[in-house]
Amino acid sequence: MPQQTTEDHPIRSSGRTSTGYRRLFALPGARAFTAGNLLARLPMGMFSVSAVVMIAGTRGSYALAGAVTATGLTATAVAGPWLARLVDRHGQARIALPATVVSALGSLALLLCVRHGAPDWTLFAAYAGTAATPNIGGLSRARWAHLLRDEPGALHTANAFEQAADELCFMLGPVLASFLAGALFPEAGTLVGAVLLLAGMVLFTAQRATEPPPRARSKATSPLRSPGVPALLVCFVATGAVFGSTEVVTIAYADSLGQRAAAGAVLALQAAGSCAAGLAYGALKPAGPRLRRCLAAMAVLMTLPWAAAGTGSLVVLAGALLVAGMATAPTMVTAMTLVQRRTPADRLNEGMSLMVTGLLTGIACGSATGGWATEYLSPVAAFAVPAAAAALALLIGSVSTRA
């Protein structure tokens, strides 16, 4: 069990530096790199939905579409930490931009394979190329950590903003992807997503003044060997399971009520609650709840959708998910801040990418478990899965960390 240190506690504002959002974007170059990052990050909420709509619409198989997107998710989880290590060593512009070009070409290759009726195996090969997508949110967080290294209060606010941006992109991305596919043609979401990703990354990496300097390879140990990081990684896996299972179970529940088309709007409310809570949490002083308290709040609030499902009303469930979502952003903000503090400085991108890998792994496991519970138990009973995953995250946080 890692020893508790003063660094693991939320740092209290000294009162000498502002922690407001206005302070962040007054920094030279902050608005420019944020604009590029948001532009590049929006497609992260588009690609999976676009691929499913495109493949299922032309090949008539949701099973194939799901398998292809799962392959891309797995490839991303494997390639992410390795790519982040290169970013730490050689710099964001030298690695992230070429990697984004490879990812965009993978998306375009998938589009062409679908469009021209290529064999199924080519879809898997093409979509695996999108694993070269850098951890865009991590790149932005690394810039804030560099710019605000002497201002922990402002860094807390920046991390909250980044988490809210994640939620916003994953809320708007699927809506935009669905609209483009329906209003234009099935491949439109993938095409627009690839263009936005590349354009955003060009703008982001062009802001060299705010880029953290590359660090030569040192004798620093792997982030996985840093005190407290393995426990945080397991917490991220459990938290990912909350997200993955909630999505699948909510869709199945809405389908059981004959309202599957409304499932997206219901899930968007959960993301909206998380986004709003993240912004509010960032505006507070950093002496707020510790990770353990955030995990406890998430564990309690994730029981609300389970209880609401028993009413048989999608409206009641939507309200419960809105409230439940308010615990996820503070949890992620606090956890990511701890990752930044506990990871060696020259391995920062790698450490954050490992957490994203853990989150993706948890999402995959949660989706599978939620799907199994829905099929073999019931859509109502399946809401116990995200509640159990949140309780597991709390247990891990209570036993294995001092955060």
Residues 6+ positions from 299 with CB-CB distance below 8 Å:
387, 390, 391, 393, 394
pTM: 0.73
Per-residue pLDDT of the chain (403 residues; tens, 9 = 90+): 333 333 333 333 333 334 477 888 888 888 888 999 899 988 887 887 778 778 877 877 767 777 787 778 778 878 877 888 888 788 888 888 999 999 999 999 999 998 888 888 999 898 888 888 888 888 888 888 888 877 777 877 888 888 788 878 877 777 787 778 777 888 888 899 999 999 999 999 988 888 888 776 655 566 666 667 788 888 888 988 898 888 878 878 887 888 766 777 788 888 888 888 888 877 776 554 478 888 999 999 999 999 999 898 999 999 999 999 888 888 888 888 787 777 776 777 777 778 888 887 888 788 778 878 887 888 899 899 999 999 999 998 887 655 4
Please report, for residues 134, 302, 322, the alpha-carbon distance to residue 155 in angstroms, rounded to integers and kept in the order given.
22, 28, 27
For 104, the 3-state DSSP assignment is helix
Cβ proximity of 187 and 57 under 8 Å? no
What is the rounded distance in angstroms from the CA atom of residue 120 to the CA atom of residue 55?
A: 10
The structure tokens listed for 287 are 């002496």
Structure confidence at residue 219 (pLDDT): 59
Taking Cα atoms as reference points, which of 192, 275, 203 lies closest to residue 34? 203
pLDDT at 385: 92
Other beta carbons less than 10 A from residue 179's beta carbon = 12
The CATH architecture that domain 223-403 belongs to is: Up-down Bundle (1.20)
Residue type, 27: L
- Structure confidence by residue, pLDDT tens digits, 310-330: 898 999 999 999 999 888 888
Query: Quick one: pLDDT at residue 62?
Result: 64
Q: Give the pLDDT confidence score for residue 6 in this predicted structure.
A: 34
pLDDT at 15: 39
Under CATH, what is the fold of the domain 27-214?
Growth Hormone; Chain: A; (1.20.1250)
Distance between CA atoms of 115 and 109, rounded to whole angstroms?
10
Block residue for tokens 């949110």 = 137
Judge contact between 133 and 103, C-beta under 8 A: yes
As a dihedral over the C-alpha atoms of residue 394, residue 396, residue 400, residue 403, rounded to 10 degrees, the angle is -30
Q: Which sign does the torsion angle of CA 84, 89, 92, 94 carry?
A: negative
Q: Where do you find CATH 1.20.1250.20 in the chain?
A: 27-214, 223-403
In terms of Cα–Cα distance, which of 231, 384, 376 is closest to 308? 384
Q: Report the pLDDT value the prediction gives residue 307, as an integer from 0 to 100.
A: 93
- The pLDDT, as a whole number, for residue 171 is 73
Strands (E) in 167-230, as ranges, are none
Q: What is the pLDDT of residue 403?
A: 47
Q: Which amino acid is at 341?
A: R
Q: What radius of gyration, in Å, describes the C-alpha atoms of the chain?
A: 20
Distance CA 140, CA 92 (A): 10
- Alpha-carbon distance of 207 to 367, in angstroms, equals 38
Residue 323: predicted pLDDT = 92
Conformational region of residue 60, where left means phi above 0, alpha means psi within -120 to 50, and beta covers everything else: left
Which is nearest to 313 in space by CA: 372, 272, 268, 254?
254
Helix/strand number for the chain, H first, E second? 17, 0
